[in-house]
Structures are given as C-alpha cells and as structure tokens.
Structure 1
Amino acid sequence: MKTLGHLLGSPWRRPVVAAAAGALPVLAFPAPSLWWFAPVALVPWIALARTAPTGRRAAADGWWGGFGFMLAMHHWLLPNLHVFTFVLAALLGALWAPWGWLVRRLLGGAPSRGRAAAALVVLPSAWLAAELVRSWEALGGPWGVLGASQWQVTPALRLASVGGVWLISFLLVLLNVAVALLFTVRRARVPGVAGLVAAGVVTSVVWVGAPAAQADGRTRIAVVQPGVVSGPDSADRRFGLEERLTRRLAGQGADLVVWGESSVGFDLGARPDLARRLAALSRATGAAVLVNVDARRSDRPGIHKSSVLVGPDGPTGERYDKMRLVPFGEYVPARSLLGWATSVGEAAGEDRRRGTEQVVMDAGGGLRIGPMVCFESAFPDMSRNLAGKGADVLLAQSSTSTFQQSWAPGQHASLAALRAAETGRPVVHATLTGVSAVHGPDGGRIGPWLGTDASTARVYDVPLAHGTTPYVRFGDWPLHAALLVLAAWGAAEAVRAVRLRRRTAPGSHGPRARTAHGSPARPGH
C-alpha cells in the first residue's frame, strides 16, 4: 500500500492538496460565512508545508496554497475574465511562497521550543506582509484579507478599532499556528498553549481598554436600490425607476438619499433635464440626493465615475471622482502589453480617468459625508482618511450586478462592518442591485440588508459618533510591527549563519570532530 508521503510526493498530487488546503479559509467569508472556521482553516496548509522535504518544496506549497486561496476567493470572476482569472491567482499566490518556506524553516522536523515560539510571531508577520503587497491597487486591492472574515464577530470588530483588519488577521494566523503546534508537533505543545493564551489576553485587553463607539446623534439616510435593469435604453429606464422609488421617500424625514454606483449614465452638465429631475426629487424628499455618474464628462476628457451631490436647486458643486479603479474592470494595467485581456474576457475597452483627492461633502443640516466608490471601500486607509477629515458618515456607492448570483455582493457588503468599526463612523453601502447594507459606528448591523432580489427604497435611522478610534489615530501599526518582526528575525538568522560559518571554517576552534560512533576523535585514531 502506498504511504501518504509517497502520494504527496507525486509531481501533481502535492500541488493539488496544497491548493485545496489554501482554499479552505474562503469558507469563513460570505456566502458560507463560517466565521468560526477561520482560527483553524490554515492548519492543514501549515501541516503540509512543514513536512516538505526541502525549502524549495515548502515554498511551492506556499505558492500553490496561495493560488488556491486567491482562486477560491475570486472564483466569481471566471465568467468575465476566463483564463485570466487563473493567471491572476497564480501571480498573487506567489506572495505566499516565502510564507510556506518560513513554515518549514520554523516548524519542520522536530523544532525546538524557541523556534516554535518564534513561529507564533514570525508566521503571522509574514502573512501580513503578503496581505500588504497584494493590497496594492494594481494587484486587485485588499479583497479577501483574512481578518475581514470576522466582520460579524463583536470582539473582532473591537480589535479592528485598535489595529484595523490587520490586527484581526495577525491574531487569526497566530491561532492557526498555535493549533498546528498542538496537533502536529508534540514537543511544541507549551508554545502552542502559550499562543492560544496570548491571543485570548490580547483580545481581552482590547475589549476592556479600547473605547467603545458612543452615539452622540442620529441621522436618517435613505438607500435607493433599483435592482437589475438590462436591455436597450437601460440607463434611461434605470433612472426612471430610481426616480419613482425616490419619490416614495417623500414625508419619511430622510436627511440624505443615496443612489448606487453608475446610477446615472449621463453627464449632468450635458443633460440639464436630468439635473432638474434630481433637484425636484431633492425638494420632494426634503433631502439632498447623492448620485453616482458614470459617463464621459462634458468639462474634461475621458470617462469618470463621480459621486455628485444634488440639492433642491440642482448640483451643489460637491463632487468626488473615483481615485482607485478596478484592474481590468475599469482600466487595463499596461494596456499595450495586456490589452489582449479584452479579447478573452469582459475587460474595460477604455480606461476610466482617476480623481486626485478624497472629498468630504456638506449634505446640509451640518451632516458631513465621505463618499467612496465600489471597491474603494475595501481599502482601510481611504475610510480612515475620510474620518480624519471630519466625515460624520462614510458612504460606499457600489454595483456588483455583473456578479449578481455569486458570493461577491455579500463579501462586498460585509466590508462596511469593518470600515465602520475601524473608524468609529457609520457606513452606508448603497448598491444598484444588492447587497446594500448599513452598519453603525461600532460595526453592528443597522436594519436589514437589501438582498440581490430587492428593488426598493428604504430609510435607515443611523447613529452618529465622533470619537477618534486608536486605528484612525495610529494607522496601520500592525503592518509596521510585522515588518519590524521580519527584519529582526532576518537579522538574527544572518548573525546565526555567520557564527555557524566561522565555527565550521578550516582552522577554526569549533567543535572537535567525532568518530562514526560519536566519540571524540583522538590523535592516532
């Protein structure tokens, strides 16, 4: 009978097992939302990499596991990007190759307690380094950061207020390493237990010491979600439907009405008739209307996605142009080199133009709002910056209609909870076709989510808070700490290697040679 080691040694079976192990953490995210699985989801991947016969093989396990993770997290892109989805998953998966190598380096064979203890800090730090690199906009942004799987866990949201989603990721990887030590390395059970205790202590200290968001006011914000509108003249028909839904809000006391991303398909400067209809809606509801224009602008070249505030007298002049664009969806990176992607998938035929700065708008009545567009809500620094600029409410205008029947709408909506907890500001996630969601300043859900089958307008009573969270004050300190840990570990390894080389160099006074039986060699033997 073939042994498990023999099976894993097969040229193709081990990569398949690694990819499957890497895909497991995705089950903690929407739609499955098995959030409780995240603290152990990495254990099979760790167990595999630590048994790799060589460092190169462990790095390959890390790469294949990263490929499985990225492909599973973004599988809903397959109908649109086709084979390019695999290319992107392979590119991003390479970021976990160093992590796999480190797993074997620290936990391979029979590691000492010192190495096992170091793994509790170094491996989470290496994971954060991979998440940091892939968070670059051109690589797809921080979609699927491990800590985001805990969006509905109250203690995790409190952690986010101190160290952002990065602190949650760090502790989740630490828990996985601790569990792996307990079950796969007998002599490292003490460090394993210490890791579990450390994670519990950190969470408890944050729970007791971190200031909870305290509501000091309220506002009423309406979300208009028209649902799927397709076919000829869809832009005109969608506008008409949004107009009818918005009129139903008259008399409901809304302070602001929010439409989703690409809710207006025409530049308002070129279509004054639409601007007048929006102004009439503002007068009817007694609230400003925040729309999102996806069109070629009449006052400057190119297509922009812009959040535009309209009051009772028309556009107020408050405008935000989307800054961070979706790779391939809204622009093609290095189009001269990768333009072929438009022929194999639904990549952007023309690049959208970028905005230059974030904007906080005055929506009237003293309400200051910070708009973001689409996957900009995945970037913690953008919501943090808006909170620092004085926004009372963060608004994410989105549209995931292309991926309507996938896990994408739920994954996107869940990010509102993290951004709210990080900043201590409520977040309104308004979409064209669902899922729309509102979360309070502590990250807790406000009212029901509007699913992908809903075509409606709903008013939410939103609590306001104006304190400053530690994350807003100190920023991405877990990332900086992780990089320092890796630098310190690398320096220590370099010093250790130099000392070992000196001891074993010819003519050195290192350890005396031994005979085959282990006894010290003596002259004449």
Structure 2
Amino acid sequence: MRNPFGRRGSGAAPTTGTPGAPRTPHRAARAVVAVAAGALPALAFPAPALWWFAYVALVPWLLLLRTAPTARRAGLEGWLGGMGFALAVHQWLMPSLHVFILVVAALLGLLWLPWGWLVRAMLGDGPSGPRAAAAVFVVPSGWLLIELARSWEGLGGPWGLLGASQWQVAPALRLASVGGVWLVSLLVVAVNTAVALLVVSDAAVRMAALVGLVVCALTVGVVWWGVAPPREQGTARIAVVQPGVYDGPGGAERRFARGEELTRELVGQDLDLVVWGESSVGSDLTARPDLAARLTALSRDVDAPVLVNVDARRSDRPGIFKSSVLIGPDGPTGDRYDKMRLVPFGEYIPARPVLGWVTSVGKAANEDRRRGTEPVVMALPAEDGRPALRIGPLVCFESAFPDMSRRLTRDGADVLVAQSATSTFQDSWAPAQHASLAALRAAESGRPMVHATLTGISTAYGPDGSRIGTPLGTDRSASAVYDVPLSRSTTGYVRYGDWPLYVALTVLAVLCAAEGMGALRRPGSELRAPRARTARGSRGRRER
C-alpha cells in the first residue's frame, strides 16, 4: 500500500561534496541568513505595521529550513532564526538589558529548534501532495505551541504573538473573537507555509498548497459572514489622562500635579470614569492622606470616579506593589487590584541569587515587586437608573495575556482598562506595539478596552476591536474623552477559550502517532537521526 505521506523523490539541497551537485551555501552564510529571516516578521508589528507582510514574512525562513542538509542543521537554523525573531520583536529592551538581551534571545530561540526539525521533515526532500497538504496544518501547529510556551510569564510573556500583527484588520479581529489571537496566528503561519510550497514544489504539491490557501480564505469568509459582531448596548464616557514624561528628581510629584491639572480640564464633560496611567501615584495613599484628599477632590470636581495606579511600598503589607485603586467623591472606595503578572527583569529578576548581576549591566529591577493574588472587577456607582458600570483593570504587560481579559469578562466586566507606562522605551516601537494589543483583547472578549498610559500611546477600542477616536501619541501631554460602545455579547473565545491550542496539540499528536505506526517512518526519512540513517545507507550498499 502506498504511503499517503510518501515522498516523490528528493528535492532537498544536496550536501557539499556530492559528486556533480551544486555546492550549498557556506554554513556561516546560512547562519546569518537564518537570523535575518527570523527577524523579518517584526516588520508586521507596529511601528512599521506592515500587517500584510506577516503572510509572507516566514517564507524565507521556511525555505532555508527546508533545504537544510541534515536534521541537526535544521534545528540549528531554527534556533538561530528564533534568536533573530526574539531580538527583533524585543529590540526596544536593548537600552535596559544591554548585552544581556543576547542571552535572553538565545534562550528564547531554543523554542524554535524542534520547529526547524518539523519544517524540514514536512517540507524537505520533495514532499508528495498529501504530505504538502498535511504540512499546511502541521507547521502552523508547531508554531502555535512555541507561542504557547513563550506565553509563560517566566519566559517573557506573550509579546510578539504573530496573530497580534493583525490588530487593525477587521476579518482577523473577527477570527480573534472566535478563537483568540491563537486562531489568527494559525491562519498567518498556514498561509506562509502554503506560499513556501508554491515556490518550491511540483504541480501536485502546488495544487495542495492552493487548496490550503483556499481553505484559509474560506475560513475567514465563513467567520466573517457567519459570526455576528458584538451588539452594542449603550455607551460609557471615559477619559484618559496622559501627563507625559517627568523623569529625574521630583518627577513623581510633578507628574501627579500635571495629572491633576489635566483632570480638572475635564470638569463638565459628563464622565463615567477618569483613568490615569501606570505608576501615576508614587506613594501609598494610606501613608499619604494628602494625596488621597487631592484625588478625592478631583473625583468630586469631575463628578466621576478616578482610577489611579499606585506604585509604592504598602503600609499594610510588606513589599512594593503596583495597584489599581479606585477613588470616588468620598475617597478611596476600597476597590483595589494588585498586579499579578510581573515583567521579568523589569519588575523582578527570576532566580535573583543567580541572575542578580544583571542589575549591574542594565536597568533591571533593584527590588522585586510583589504579586497580587486574584483579578478584581470594580463596580462604578449606578446613575440615572442605569446599572453600575463594571470595569476590569489590567496593569501594563498584563494586557498581552488573552486569558486575563477573558477571565475579567467572564467575571462580569463591561469595560477592560489597561494602565501602562512605557516612558523608558519612549522612542522605540514598544508604545505602539503595546497599544495595539488592546485591539486584540477587545475583539477576543467582546468588551471595549481603554489603554491609558503616562507618556503615550493612550487609546480606546470598541467591542469589535476597532479604534475609537484619536489616540494620544508619545509627544502629547493631554487628556482625551472616548465615548465607548458597550456590549453584553458573549464571543466564541470567551465561551470556549483557547481551543485552537488544543487543535494544534491534536494535530501534532496525530503526526507522532503516524510516525509511530510507520506512516512517516521509512528508509531515508529525515525524522530519523542523521547518523543512524548514514549507517543504514552504508550497510545497504555493502550488502548490495
């Protein structure tokens, strides 16, 4: 019986020294190309924001891995490409981590090492049509598991998930409402895989690749026409206050004073909520009743609660916390959320006894921040017969985690609010990338999201992920008011969660089962160790 995943001859690049065969590129040249190819997808994210480029950005890397002379080499080039990707999407960290960013990138790059093996196994050595069709599902599944591993906070969190590059593409946002950013990443990598097959293969494989592209297009079409956007039910009038950069001695007090000034300009705007950015208050309000009184007076003046963020040592608990605190016209309401997921090296140093030396070469945290224990949904006062507006606060980096906004939505949040500060990275791509994440979280949850920062970019998105009004850029010290559409619709992602991840796991499990049953295991298969294959081939020649 013919193997359904059988190969149709060898299309892989011959190794150097094969009689009559062209020489492969020098190993050093291939290594440089691998790093550069891995970095290409970063151009799809803000600030370049070439969203369309995401659908072909992986093709050079895929073609390089496909022609790797051995599985070991494919793994190495997967690692090098992963290093390039990690460096490119985290390049804004260089001023803080300096040379240590190379160590971080090298460690993260290891996640792509098995992906290099997988790509070569599925695309290399002249794949048949059925195998090419399988590759359109298998290769994206492998990529998605890398994104899942990277989403662990200890590895830096889900920054630079490939699907997040599509934050301003309406059909992609609709996909996110069904399967989160994970489903968008699957689609993007599937298109890249199909395009790579179109470039290198024969007619049967090209037909399989075209079928894969059609399936991707049909998936988008079915979701676009079959899944209704969130139904809007009323609006909330929310203001953000962005004081701008205030560094140096006395910066916290001057920033607070500027926040007061901007908030008073909002008097008479009929607001439901005023949001200040991350670390907008530099002292514990219990220890500084004068600051609490000033904020209370502001809430009374604008006739709306003020959500501030306190970055200070607590008087009632040991350690420094970053906390969202709601202030009403009668003072702090008692609603408080302590940040749960901290930025590695920025807010704590993993394994500080071992890695504490990082503080001497960069701007890593000198003292670890303390973690909160649970998410909090805060209820604003009901007015004019309207039910209380419920807000779900997130602090900075937490807006990158799909599961956190999903949890807040399931807990009853009507509006998601992210309080952020990126002044350290003011002149990099970081502020734009960070602000774009709110679009994905809004689309996934079917809830509007407000992104308020100290120094920009502050913005807001509707429940379908579309931008509301004009954002405040990094050159602004100003306030802005957004009329935010509300919705009580339940998205597929909120209802079913991270199901694309389970699909990816299933696809790879089926692949492993097929290999175990011999469907993929055969003489000459690159899934075997190269040394064993060479020995087997040599023995066969001796026997003949």
TM-score range relative to shorter protein: over 0.9
1:370-389 aligned at under 5 Å gives the runs: 370-389=392-411
1:62-141 aligned at under 5 Å gives the runs: 62-141=78-157
Q: Whole-Å Cα distance in 1 between the matches of residues 251 and 48 of structure 2?
A: 33
Instruction: Give, in angstroms, the shift of residue 209 of structure 1.
Output: 1.5
Deviations along 1:423-473, one digit per CA (max 9) or x if unpaired, are 000000000000111000000000011100000011111100011000000
Residue 281, structure 1, aligned to residue 304, structure 2:
no
Instruction: Give, in angstroms, the shift of residue 79 of structure 1.
Output: 1.0
Aligned residue type for 2:421: S
* Residue from 395, 415, 420 that aligns with 1:398: 420
Instruction: Give, in angstroms, the shift of residue 74 of structure 1.
Output: 0.5
- Contact 2:392/2:417, CA 8 A, preserved across alignment: yes
Aligned residue type for 1:165: V
Aligned residue type for 1:156: A
1:450-465 aligned at under 5 Å gives the runs: 450-465=472-487
* Number of matched pairs: 502
Q: Whole-Å Cα distance in 2 between the matches of residues 499 and 325 of structure 1?
A: 44
1:28 is matched with which residue?
44
Residue 268, structure 1, aligned to residue 290, structure 2:
no
- Contact 1:39/1:172, CA 8 A, preserved across alignment: yes
- Contact 2:177/2:443, CA 8 A, preserved across alignment: yes
- Contact 1:211/1:469, CA 8 A, preserved across alignment: no
* Residue from 236, 240, 254 that aligns with 1:237: 254
Instruction: Give, in angstroms, the shift of residue 186 of structure 1.
Output: 2.0
Instruction: Give, in angstroms, the shift of residue 211 of structure 1.
Output: 2.3
Instruction: Give, in angstroms, the shift of residue 7 of structure 1.
Output: 7.8
Secondary structure in structure 1 of the residue aligned to 2:232: coil
Aligned residue type for 2:440: L
Gaps of 5+ in 2: 1-13, 17-21, 383-387, 524-539
Residue 207, structure 1, aligned to residue 224, structure 2:
yes
Deviations along 1:274-320, one digit per CA (max 9) or x if unpaired, are 00000000000000000000000001100000000000011000000
Deviations along 1:232-273, one digit per CA (max 9) or x if unpaired, are 111111111100110000001111000000000000000000
Secondary structure in structure 2 of the residue aligned to 1:92: helix
- Contact 1:7/1:14, CA 8 A, preserved across alignment: no
Q: Given the superposition, is the C-alpha separation of residues 498 and 16 from structure 1 closer, same or farther in structure 2, using an over 3 Å criterion?
A: closer
- Contact 1:158/1:421, CA 8 A, preserved across alignment: yes
1:332 is matched with which residue?
349
- Contact 2:414/2:486, CA 8 A, preserved across alignment: yes
Identity %: 68
Q: Whole-Å Cα distance in 1 between the matches of residues 469 and 103 of structure 2?
A: 40
Q: Whole-Å Cα distance in 2 between the matches of residues 71 and 488 of structure 1?
A: 33
Q: Whole-Å Cα distance in 2 between the matches of residues 459 and 4 of structure 1?
A: 63
- Contact 1:7/1:13, CA 8 A, preserved across alignment: no
Deviations along 1:368-406, one digit per CA (max 9) or x if unpaired, are 000000110000000000000000000000000000000
Instruction: Give, in angstroms, the shift of residue 98 of structure 1.
Output: 1.1
Secondary structure in structure 1 of the residue aligned to 2:141: helix
1:253 is matched with which residue?
270
Q: Whole-Å Cα distance in 2 between the matches of residues 487 and 82 of structure 1?
A: 40
Q: Given the superposition, is the C-alpha separation of residues 406 and 498 from structure 1 closer, same or farther in structure 2, using an over 3 Å criterion?
A: closer
2:158 is matched with which residue?
142
TM-score, with structure 2 as normaliser? 0.90
Moved runs in structure 1, 4+ residues, more than 3 A? 3-9, 497-501
1:511 is matched with which residue?
none
1:271-310 aligned at under 5 Å gives the runs: 271-310=288-327
2:378 is matched with which residue?
361
Instruction: Give, in angstroms, the shift of residue 499 of structure 1.
Output: 7.7
When the two chains are superposed, the root-mean-square deviation of aligned CA atoms in Å is 1.6
1:49 is matched with which residue?
65
- Contact 1:8/1:14, CA 8 A, preserved across alignment: no
Aligned residue type for 2:378: M
Instruction: Report the more deviating stretch, 318-327 or 202-211.
Output: 202-211
Deviations along 1:114-148, one digit per CA (max 9) or x if unpaired, are 21111011100000000000110010000000000
1:348 is matched with which residue?
365
